[in-house]
Amino acid sequence: MGEKQRHYWRAALAFMACVAFLTPPVRAEEITAERLAHSEIEPDNWLTHFGNYEAWAYSALEQINRDNVKTLVPAWSFATGQKGINSTPLVADGVMYLAAPQNQIFALDAATGEMLWTYVREIPSGRTARPTAGLAVGLGLVFFGTVDNHMVALDAANGREVWDVQIEDPKQCGCGPSFAPLLANGKVIVGVRGEVAHRSYINAFDAKTGALAWRWWAIPGPGEPGHETWPEELWELGGASTWYAGSYDPDLNLIYWGVGNPAPMLGGTLPGDKLYTNSLVALDADTGELKWHFQETPSDIFDLDSATEPVLLDHEIDGKMRKLVLHPTKGGYTYILDRETGEFLKAYAHSQTITWTEGLNERGQPINRQTLSHDEETLVCPSVNGSRGAQHSAYSPRTGLWYTTSLESCAMVKLIESAGPREGQFYNSASLVAVLSPKAPPHIAAFDAMSGARKWMFETDLVNGSSLLTTGGDLIFGGDLLGRAWALDAETGDKIWSFNMGSGVTNAPISYAVDGRQYIAIGSGPLSASAGLSTRLWPELAAQIPPTGSSIFVFALPETQP
């Protein structure tokens, strides 16, 4: 975003934030497609997983700012009664919707924490998939993916079930719904979560009825473009999980979604680029038709998923405004593409230690990649846990900066003999031992979103498992595995507030307002690979990591005394 555009956004968002605090919230009004598409004009709500369709994780609210954040105090908290919390809460017109990990949804008064209704779906006996991890809200409904791989729609007013459809049998596929669904253009869109031998996809369901509207296969079948890039013995079980939530451009009616690695997780030796693994794809929201793709890592053997969030930006290039998408990956690089055409424009490293490739060429493709051996271990950076994972980034139109985590996690990797893929089963062809980067500590960093220039770096005590939130008060919010919520100065990276919540943080903070008061909500109770990774890398700190809780803490400035 150019300086002129940043100045415009600063003024516009400041005005909208003032309007939000002067205007009482409208309650019980349906969240329409129009409201979702223009969520920036009502910053008192948090209507989507990332706060807006562009995946900015940005709130224009500025009542809480760098000057007064030190006075932030708990306003209320709510315990789910389960273990862990990884879901991003949503707020619509004074109501917070919160998912607990075992098929339970709560509607809470967003100002007081009072429970308005709860929904519990029985978990069937036998093998299930992944914990409930995200929500979508709109059209009078709340949508979520279940532990046993169903999509469910609830009446937002009372929690009554409206429809329930099975995505796929988890006993067969070993998979679950992506971390959050995306509600776009009357459809609930959801991917596949799981590091298993499986042919993954993205599904779209009619939001009102649950009927399957379309399915896009992440691995093309016989006769489809890209099928020739797969070995015949692998494509039906080739992985390509679509782990996380995508973003959406309503003007282009395109959905942007990242795709994970091919099977096996590590060490695959079969030839072929294996489309559309390790790619960013753009799909028509009405039909699921693939409009373009960009494969960042052909035939990945290091588990360097491209499944993380696509961030949508508009920026002036050579005197012309362009619609762009910024896409970070586990492999340590961030790519910038034209989001209308998929044209590669540039890439830069957000990780400080990258060994798996010597760099990228002018087409954004890796140069001289590392190889693996059966005879000795190879240090690979980043590795399975990546420089990035589920902990999403944040972008501020005020500063023009993009804020992201780099775990700086490496591994000693060695090829092993594998029995081959079995449907729904974990499939791997290498051993690994996680190690820290020999050059850089885990950290959070701020980059000029377009140039890639690093502005500051904040070192974290352990690998950072939380997502990030940035606000109009020029703050970055997050939390750590030692149980502390914190705020950084968005301009300098200095920590200026923290609060011990008693259990680690691996979910996404959000901000919203009710009746003129701004709140920051952060979940306490880790559900992430980051927690296990930290205990392996810092065994001396394992005893300091608190037990796993499951609570949402909501903070605000002290109320004005009479």
Q: Tell me 199's DSSP state.
A: B
pLDDT at 133: 86
Two tokens at 262?
């091919």
Label residue 441 exposed, middle or buried (CB < 10 Å: 0-12, 13-18, 19+).
middle
* 536 pLDDT higher than 90: no
How does residue 20 score in pLDDT terms, banded at 50, 70 and 90?
very low
CB proximity list for 34: less than 8 A, separation 6 or greater? none
* 161 pLDDT higher than 60: yes
How does residue 10 score in pLDDT terms, banded at 50, 70 and 90?
very low
Task: List beta partners, residue 513.
Answer: 518
Check residues 389 and 262 and name the one with the higher pLDDT.
Answer: 262
Read off the pLDDT of residues 65-86 as tens digits, 9 standing for 90 and up: 999 999 999 999 999 999 999 8
Q: Vertex 121, ends 119 and 127: CA angle to 5°?
A: 150
Read off the pLDDT of residues 168-224 as tens digits, 9 standing for 90 and up: 999 889 999 999 999 999 999 999 999 999 999 999 999 999 999 999 999 999 999
pLDDT at 127: 60
pLDDT at 28: 52
How does residue 1 score in pLDDT terms, banded at 50, 70 and 90?
low
Check residues 465 and 404 and name the one with the higher pLDDT.
Answer: 404
* 19 pLDDT higher than 50: no
Mean pLDDT over 354-366 rounds to 98
Helix (H, G, I), strand (E, B) or coil at 280: strand
Do the Cβ atoms of 274 and 294 come closer than 8 Å?
Answer: no
Do the Cβ atoms of 256 and 310 come closer than 8 Å?
Answer: yes
Q: What mean pLDDT is reported for the chain? A: 92
pLDDT at 123: 86
pLDDT at 469: 98
Read off the pLDDT of residues 76-116 as tens digits, 9 standing for 90 and up: 999 999 999 989 999 999 999 999 999 999 999 999 999 99
pLDDT at 23: 38
pLDDT at 27: 44
Mean pLDDT over 234-258 rounds to 97
Q: Tell me 196's DSSP state.
A: B
* 562 pLDDT higher than 90: no
Residue 504, amino acid: G
Do the Cβ atoms of 142 and 153 come closer than 8 Å?
Answer: yes
Residue 303, amino acid: D
Read off the pLDDT of residues 503-529 as tens digits, 9 standing for 90 and up: 999 999 999 999 999 999 999 999 877
pLDDT at 356: 98
pLDDT at 390: 87
* 6 pLDDT higher than 50: no
* 292 pLDDT higher than 60: yes
CA atoms of 449 and 58, how far apart (whole Å): 14
CA atoms of 266 and 269, how far apart (whole Å): 9
* 500 pLDDT higher than 50: yes
- Between 8-12, 69-73, 259-263, 280-284, the lowest mean confidence (pLDDT) is in 8-12
pLDDT at 102: 92
pLDDT at 130: 77
Helix (H, G, I), strand (E, B) or coil at 126: coil
pLDDT at 24: 38
pLDDT at 189: 98
Two tokens at 208?
């009102």
Q: Quick one: what percent of the chain has pLDDT higher than 90? A: 85
